[in-house]
Amino acid sequence: MQLTVWTYEGPPHVGAMRVATGMKGLHYVLHAPQGDTYADLLFTMIERRGERPPVTYTTFQARDLGTDTAELFQKSARDAYERFQPQAMIVGASCTAELIQDDPAGLALTMGLPCPIIALDLPSYSHKENWGAAETFYQIVRQLADKARVAPPREGRRPRANILGPTALGFRHRDDVQEITRLLGDLGIDVHVTAPLGSTPLAIAGLGEADFNVVLYPEIAHEAARWLEKTFGQKHNKTVPIGVGATREFIAEVCALAGIAAPADADAGRMPWWSRSVDSTYLTGKRVFIFGDATHAIAAARIARDELGFEVVGLGCYNREFARDIRAAAKLYGVEPLITDDYLAVEEAIAAASCELVLGTQMERHIAKRLRLPCAVISAPVHVQDFPARHSPQMGFEGANVIFDTWVHPLVMGLEEHLLTMFRDDFEFSDAAGPSHLGHGAATPAHAEAPAMADAAEAPTPAAVAAHVEAGGWSAEATRELMKIPFFVRGKAKRNTERYASEKGVAAISVETLYEAKAHYAR
């Protein structure tokens, strides 16, 4: 473990809490000290849920360590059952409680509570949140799915599938489920059970009655889907429907699993039309850096290159369990994969890539803001603004439309901001100018009377330039001049200038160096 001020994933018991909070009729008894109850805020404040997570904390304090904390856990578990009457309970320990080795799982199994008890072994010091969610869901499915309940014969009914993987606090999981449920319905496929999100322990018991499974989030559902395939013979999809191309492949794949014909004219949304339009040409070839969970990062790279014409200059993920998938995808784009949960390493990689758009998590949003780069959020972890009240999926054709808006708007708004900056000294755009639609009686701009001193100012001496050299060899004046260049060509101008300075042996880049480089590469 390492001390950090920001992390991409919480400990594994937070993943278990995401599964429990997404379900109904399931209660989580968490052996945890006072202070480890902060996770409630993730759901009530960030996801803006109308109810608290179904979690009972033992909440032992320092003074309790001299007594029997195991007895405290048993009392909490017994009280939780009597109060909430759940269909099933999961029990485990937080990362801090793990150190006192009370074995809450073993204690709960010996209590004789009148509901299924699912013991969780989530080692906090070797695994993290997504693994914890996947392990929790796998244990729930393995222990609650009734092996005697299998899919009935297909005669006289439509094919049906389970949707696996969505949880509470997931990035657009609620909206993705709605979109994929509608898509499957349009294909003639019924959804049998969606789990964990919106499911119950009783519904989990009937998972085997579906014909096949649809895995939306492999980080959460891959292991459970493998067990269902081994136990019930249920196949599952390999393509995650994020983006137009992936959604088309997903449709063909699930139709094959369902044994039905795939439609020839699947709706593709508006992204393909826009990508072919003249309006998109000024974004073609833009350099994009992508980082997030593996599923969303890999999907984003495909969309960026194949559907929007961007150039992928960086690709990485923070969940090491899917490092192999990221490495395979990075090889396709000719970039070095970045597998890390250190946000400082990510920031360093973004700065080195000289990209023009960042696609990442909430952390990359902050990094991009510091580096003055456009950014769009594509993956958890996210903040409250990425849990919109409106329908805003990432999957399916409507998800492709949302992605188009989310990615292109930061670039377009960056252009607008540049134009406002470019014309800020124009008399019609000055803050002191009156509204132009009120005639010619507008106030005279305050700066109009000021003498034009810029032309009379003497050129800075080499010593003065050297005194203002910033990181990377740029003087303050050259940096300000660089910022006047439109964002969508600024990166190229910066790279060309630095290459020119290196070739000419210029240590400090001045305004003159910037324009000499421009003239050199314009020949």
Per-residue H/E/C for 419-470:
HHHHCCCCCCCCCCCCCHHHCCCCCCCHHHHCCCCCCCCCCCCHHHHHHCEC
316 phi and psi angles, rounded to 5 deg: -160, 170
Residue with tokens 């003249």, as numbered in its chain: 278
117 token code pair: 């008890």
Kindly state the average pLDDT of the residues 468-493: 75
- The average confidence (pLDDT) of the chain is 84
- Residue 237 DSSP symbol: -
Among 211, 169, 213, 175, which Cα is nearest to 194's?
213
Q: What is the pLDDT of residues 147-206, one digit of tens each?
A: 999 999 988 899 999 999 999 999 999 999 999 999 999 999 999 999 999 999 999 999
Q: Which residues pair with 317 in a beta bridge?
A: 292, 339
Residue 267, C-beta contacts closer than 8 angstroms, at least 6 positions apart? 397
**70, 107 Cβ separation under 8 angstroms:** yes
**155, 183 Cβ separation under 8 angstroms:** no
Q: List, by residue number, the catalytic residues.
A: 279
Q: Is 267 annotated as a binding residue?
A: no
pLDDT value of position 36: 72
Q: What is the pLDDT of residues 332-363, one digit of tens each?
A: 999 999 999 999 999 999 999 989 999 999 99
**480, 513 Cβ separation under 8 angstroms:** no
- Asked if the model's pLDDT at residue 39 lies above 80, the reply is no
Which of 9-13, 26-30, 337-341, 430-434 is predicted with the least confidence, judged by mean pLDDT? 430-434
Kindly state the average pLDDT of the residues 106-133: 89
**pTM score over 0.85:** no
Q: What angle do CA 183, 185, 187 make, to 5 degrees?
A: 75
Count of beta carbons in the 10 Å neighbourhood of residue 430: 18
Using 50, 70 and 90 to split pLDDT, how confident is the model at 423? low
Give helix 244-258 / helix 173-187 axis angle, nearest 10°: 50
CB-side exposure of 385: number of CA atoms within 13 Å?
Answer: 7
**57, 36 Cβ separation under 8 angstroms:** yes
pLDDT value of position 280: 62
- Round to whole Å and give the CA distance between 103 and 70: 8
- Round to whole Å and give the CA distance between 206 and 210: 8
- Asked if the model's pLDDT at residue 481 lies above 90, the reply is no
Kindly state the average pLDDT of the residues 447-470: 44
- Round to whole Å and give the CA distance between 379 and 318: 11
Q: Is 169 annotated as a binding residue?
A: no
**183, 396 Cβ separation under 8 angstroms:** yes
Q: What is the pLDDT of residues 52-104, one digit of tens each?
A: 899 998 876 555 554 567 788 888 899 999 999 999 999 988 877 676 766 77
**409, 253 Cβ separation under 8 angstroms:** no
Q: Which residues pair with 292 in a beta bridge?
A: 317
Q: Is 439 annotated as a binding residue?
A: no
240 token code pair: 């995650």
Q: With DSSP H G I counted as helix, E B as strand and the rest as coil, what are the percentages for the chain, rounded to 5?
A: 50, 10, 40
Domains belonging to the chain, first-starting first, are: 12-129 (3.40.50.1980), 160-258 (3.40.50.1980), 270-409 (3.40.50.1980), 476-522 (1.10.8.550)
Q: What are the start-end ranges of the E strands in 149-308?
A: 160-164, 190-195, 212-215, 235-236, 287-292
Strand order, beta sheet including 160-164: 190-195, 160-164, 212-215, 235-236
**169, 46 Cβ separation under 8 angstroms:** yes
Is 504 exposed, middle or buried, given 0-12, 13-18 or 19+ CB atoms closer than 10 A? exposed
